[in-house]
Amino acid sequence: MKRLLTLMLAGLVAELCFGQGYRMEIGAMGGGSFYMGDANTKMFNDMRPSYSLLLRYNLNRRFTLKADVGVAGIAGTTEGKEGTFLHGETLNFDRKLIDGSIAMEFNFYEFGAPSYAPGASRVSPYILLGAGAVCYKTDKTKAAFCMPIGLGLKYKFADRFNLGLDLTYRMSLADDLDYATGSQFQLIDPQGIASSWNKNKDSYFVLKFYLSYDFMYIGSICYR
Protein backbone atom coordinates (compact mmCIF):
# COMPACT_ATOMS: atom_id res chain seq x y z
CA MET A 1 0.00 0.00 0.00
CA LYS A 2 2.80 2.41 0.88
CA ARG A 3 4.44 1.71 -2.45
CA LEU A 4 1.18 2.28 -4.29
CA LEU A 5 0.62 5.61 -2.54
CA THR A 6 4.17 6.70 -3.41
CA LEU A 7 3.61 5.87 -7.08
CA MET A 8 0.27 7.71 -7.11
CA LEU A 9 1.83 10.78 -5.50
CA ALA A 10 4.71 10.73 -7.96
CA GLY A 11 2.24 10.47 -10.82
CA LEU A 12 0.23 13.41 -9.51
CA VAL A 13 3.35 15.57 -9.17
CA ALA A 14 4.44 14.58 -12.68
CA GLU A 15 1.01 15.55 -14.00
CA LEU A 16 0.94 18.94 -12.28
CA CYS A 17 4.58 19.94 -12.58
CA PHE A 18 5.23 19.50 -16.26
CA GLY A 19 5.53 23.18 -17.16
CA GLN A 20 9.16 23.85 -18.01
CA GLY A 21 10.71 26.99 -19.39
CA TYR A 22 13.88 28.71 -20.55
CA ARG A 23 14.78 32.25 -19.68
CA MET A 24 16.90 33.25 -22.71
CA GLU A 25 17.27 32.83 -26.46
CA ILE A 26 20.28 33.26 -28.71
CA GLY A 27 20.13 33.31 -32.48
CA ALA A 28 21.04 34.76 -35.85
CA MET A 29 19.08 37.08 -38.12
CA GLY A 30 19.42 37.64 -41.85
CA GLY A 31 17.54 39.51 -44.55
CA GLY A 32 17.56 42.92 -46.19
CA SER A 33 17.46 46.63 -45.38
CA PHE A 34 16.60 49.79 -47.26
CA TYR A 35 16.99 53.54 -46.74
CA MET A 36 14.12 56.01 -46.34
CA GLY A 37 14.90 59.70 -46.73
CA ASP A 38 15.34 62.48 -49.27
CA ALA A 39 16.66 60.11 -51.94
CA ASN A 40 14.02 57.40 -51.51
CA THR A 41 10.42 57.26 -50.34
CA LYS A 42 9.48 53.83 -51.74
CA MET A 43 9.23 50.78 -49.52
CA PHE A 44 11.66 47.94 -50.30
CA ASN A 45 13.56 49.99 -52.89
CA ASP A 46 17.33 49.40 -53.31
CA MET A 47 17.47 46.69 -50.65
CA ARG A 48 20.85 45.57 -49.37
CA PRO A 49 21.88 42.57 -47.23
CA SER A 50 21.45 42.81 -43.48
CA TYR A 51 22.47 40.38 -40.74
CA SER A 52 22.81 40.41 -36.96
CA LEU A 53 23.10 38.45 -33.74
CA LEU A 54 20.06 38.17 -31.48
CA LEU A 55 19.73 37.75 -27.71
CA ARG A 56 16.41 37.62 -25.87
CA TYR A 57 15.60 37.65 -22.15
CA ASN A 58 12.10 36.33 -21.60
CA LEU A 59 10.49 38.16 -18.69
CA ASN A 60 7.39 36.00 -19.14
CA ARG A 61 5.40 34.58 -22.04
CA ARG A 62 4.10 38.04 -22.99
CA PHE A 63 7.07 40.38 -22.53
CA THR A 64 10.63 39.93 -23.79
CA LEU A 65 13.73 42.11 -23.81
CA LYS A 66 15.54 41.78 -27.13
CA ALA A 67 19.09 42.91 -27.92
CA ASP A 68 20.57 42.72 -31.41
CA VAL A 69 23.72 43.99 -33.07
CA GLY A 70 24.68 43.69 -36.70
CA VAL A 71 25.19 45.23 -40.13
CA ALA A 72 22.60 46.86 -42.39
CA GLY A 73 23.22 48.09 -45.92
CA ILE A 74 21.52 51.15 -47.43
CA ALA A 75 21.66 52.78 -50.87
CA GLY A 76 19.94 55.53 -52.84
CA THR A 77 20.13 57.97 -55.73
CA THR A 78 18.69 61.33 -56.78
CA GLU A 79 18.81 60.40 -60.47
CA GLY A 80 15.69 61.75 -62.18
CA LYS A 81 14.80 63.86 -59.13
CA GLU A 82 17.50 66.53 -59.27
CA GLY A 83 14.95 69.29 -59.93
CA THR A 84 13.26 68.73 -56.59
CA PHE A 85 16.31 69.97 -54.66
CA LEU A 86 17.79 73.46 -54.46
CA HIS A 87 20.99 73.44 -56.59
CA GLY A 88 20.48 69.71 -56.91
CA GLU A 89 22.57 67.29 -58.91
CA THR A 90 22.79 63.54 -59.34
CA LEU A 91 23.95 61.90 -56.15
CA ASN A 92 24.50 58.22 -55.38
CA PHE A 93 25.43 56.49 -52.16
CA ASP A 94 25.83 52.91 -50.97
CA ARG A 95 27.08 52.17 -47.45
CA LYS A 96 27.00 49.78 -44.54
CA LEU A 97 25.72 50.70 -41.11
CA ILE A 98 26.60 49.01 -37.84
CA ASP A 99 23.65 49.20 -35.51
CA GLY A 100 22.60 47.81 -32.17
CA SER A 101 19.53 48.20 -30.02
CA ILE A 102 17.62 46.97 -27.00
CA ALA A 103 13.86 46.70 -27.38
CA MET A 104 10.85 45.50 -25.43
CA GLU A 105 8.66 43.00 -27.28
CA PHE A 106 5.02 42.34 -26.49
CA ASN A 107 3.58 39.00 -27.64
CA PHE A 108 -0.12 39.08 -28.48
CA TYR A 109 -0.40 35.44 -27.35
CA GLU A 110 1.34 33.71 -24.46
CA PHE A 111 4.27 32.35 -26.42
CA GLY A 112 5.83 29.02 -25.57
CA ALA A 113 5.80 25.27 -26.05
CA PRO A 114 2.43 23.84 -24.91
CA SER A 115 4.22 20.74 -23.61
CA TYR A 116 6.24 23.00 -21.29
CA ALA A 117 3.62 25.62 -20.45
CA PRO A 118 -0.04 24.54 -20.72
CA GLY A 119 -2.13 27.12 -22.55
CA ALA A 120 0.86 28.64 -24.37
CA SER A 121 0.82 29.17 -28.13
CA ARG A 122 3.55 28.08 -30.53
CA VAL A 123 2.73 31.06 -32.79
CA SER A 124 2.43 34.71 -31.83
CA PRO A 125 2.57 38.09 -33.55
CA TYR A 126 4.41 40.77 -31.60
CA ILE A 127 5.26 44.47 -31.57
CA LEU A 128 8.45 46.12 -30.29
CA LEU A 129 9.82 49.48 -29.24
CA GLY A 130 13.34 50.31 -28.15
CA ALA A 131 16.44 52.46 -28.33
CA GLY A 132 19.83 52.03 -29.92
CA ALA A 133 22.67 53.52 -31.90
CA VAL A 134 23.87 53.43 -35.50
CA CYS A 135 27.52 53.85 -36.55
CA TYR A 136 28.46 54.85 -40.09
CA LYS A 137 31.24 56.46 -42.09
CA THR A 138 31.07 59.59 -44.24
CA ASP A 139 34.37 61.48 -44.44
CA LYS A 140 34.80 60.34 -40.84
CA THR A 141 33.27 57.77 -38.51
CA LYS A 142 30.06 58.91 -36.83
CA ALA A 143 27.40 57.59 -34.48
CA ALA A 144 23.78 58.61 -33.91
CA PHE A 145 20.83 57.65 -31.76
CA CYS A 146 18.15 55.50 -33.36
CA MET A 147 14.78 54.21 -32.19
CA PRO A 148 13.52 50.85 -33.50
CA ILE A 149 9.75 50.44 -33.89
CA GLY A 150 8.56 47.18 -35.35
CA LEU A 151 6.39 44.13 -35.56
CA GLY A 152 6.95 40.49 -36.23
CA LEU A 153 5.77 36.91 -36.08
CA LYS A 154 7.41 34.10 -34.12
CA TYR A 155 6.93 30.34 -34.31
CA LYS A 156 8.25 27.72 -31.87
CA PHE A 157 8.72 24.76 -34.22
CA ALA A 158 10.41 22.64 -31.52
CA ASP A 159 10.48 22.89 -27.74
CA ARG A 160 13.73 24.89 -27.76
CA PHE A 161 13.91 26.29 -31.31
CA ASN A 162 12.17 29.35 -32.74
CA LEU A 163 11.70 30.83 -36.19
CA GLY A 164 10.58 34.39 -36.82
CA LEU A 165 10.10 37.26 -39.22
CA ASP A 166 10.94 40.75 -37.96
CA LEU A 167 10.25 44.10 -39.70
CA THR A 168 11.73 47.12 -37.91
CA TYR A 169 11.67 50.81 -38.77
CA ARG A 170 14.80 52.45 -37.36
CA MET A 171 14.31 56.18 -36.98
CA SER A 172 17.64 57.94 -36.53
CA LEU A 173 18.63 61.45 -35.48
CA ALA A 174 21.22 61.62 -38.27
CA ASP A 175 20.70 63.52 -41.53
CA ASP A 176 23.77 62.27 -43.38
CA LEU A 177 23.22 58.52 -43.67
CA ASP A 178 22.83 59.40 -47.38
CA TYR A 179 26.19 61.20 -47.56
CA ALA A 180 27.83 60.89 -51.00
CA THR A 181 31.63 60.83 -51.00
CA GLY A 182 33.24 63.34 -53.35
CA SER A 183 30.08 65.35 -54.03
CA GLN A 184 29.63 69.03 -53.21
CA PHE A 185 25.88 68.56 -53.10
CA GLN A 186 24.59 66.68 -50.05
CA LEU A 187 21.11 65.81 -48.81
CA ILE A 188 21.50 67.73 -45.54
CA ASP A 189 18.68 70.32 -45.54
CA PRO A 190 18.61 69.98 -49.36
CA GLN A 191 15.89 72.62 -49.71
CA GLY A 192 18.13 75.16 -47.99
CA ILE A 193 15.81 75.44 -44.98
CA ALA A 194 17.12 74.43 -41.57
CA SER A 195 14.78 72.12 -39.68
CA SER A 196 14.37 71.22 -36.01
CA TRP A 197 16.43 68.46 -34.40
CA ASN A 198 13.80 65.76 -35.01
CA LYS A 199 12.60 66.75 -38.49
CA ASN A 200 13.74 65.48 -41.91
CA LYS A 201 16.13 62.91 -40.48
CA ASP A 202 17.23 59.74 -42.26
CA SER A 203 15.83 56.35 -41.37
CA TYR A 204 15.87 52.80 -42.66
CA PHE A 205 13.87 49.59 -42.51
CA VAL A 206 15.25 46.16 -41.70
CA LEU A 207 13.39 42.99 -42.69
CA LYS A 208 14.95 39.80 -41.33
CA PHE A 209 14.22 36.16 -40.67
CA TYR A 210 15.72 34.62 -37.58
CA LEU A 211 16.45 31.28 -35.94
CA SER A 212 16.95 31.15 -32.17
CA TYR A 213 17.68 28.55 -29.50
CA ASP A 214 16.32 28.59 -25.93
CA PHE A 215 18.72 28.23 -23.00
CA MET A 216 19.01 28.99 -19.27
CA TYR A 217 16.55 26.43 -17.92
CA ILE A 218 14.36 27.85 -15.15
CA GLY A 219 12.82 24.61 -13.93
CA SER A 220 9.32 23.21 -13.78
CA ILE A 221 6.21 25.17 -12.84
CA CYS A 222 3.29 23.39 -11.18
CA TYR A 223 -0.16 23.80 -12.70
CA ARG A 224 -3.55 22.83 -11.33
Q: Domain for residue 113, yes or no?
A: yes
Which has the closest alpha carbon to 76: 196, 165, 205? Answer: 205
Q: How far is CA 148 from CA 1, 90, 137, 156, 162, in A?
A: 62, 30, 20, 24, 22
Domain with 217, as residue range(s), is: 24-221
Distance CA 7, CA 12 (A): 9
Q: Domain for residue 157, yes or no?
A: yes
Give the burial class of 3: count Cβ atoms within 10 A of its Cβ; 0-12 exposed, 13-18 middle, 19 or more buried. exposed
Q: In the 8-state DSSP scheme, what is residue 216? A: E
Q: Domain for residue 4, yes or no?
A: no
Q: Domain for residue 189, yes or no?
A: yes
Q: Domain for residue 69, yes or no?
A: yes
Count of structural domains within the chain: 1
Q: Domain for residue 3, yes or no?
A: no
The pLDDT profile of the chain, 224 residues, written as one tens digit per residue, is: 555 445 444 444 444 444 457 899 999 999 999 999 888 889 999 999 999 999 999 998 899 999 999 999 999 988 877 666 656 677 889 999 999 999 999 999 999 888 777 788 999 999 999 999 999 999 899 999 999 999 999 999 998 999 999 999 999 999 999 998 877 777 776 554 555 545 578 999 999 999 999 999 886 555 45
Q: Domain for residue 188, yes or no?
A: yes
Q: Domain for residue 58, yes or no?
A: yes
Domain of 64, CATH number, reads 2.40.160.20
The contacts of residue 199 (CB under 8 Å, 6+ apart) are none
**Secondary structure of residue 82 in the 3-state scheme:** helix
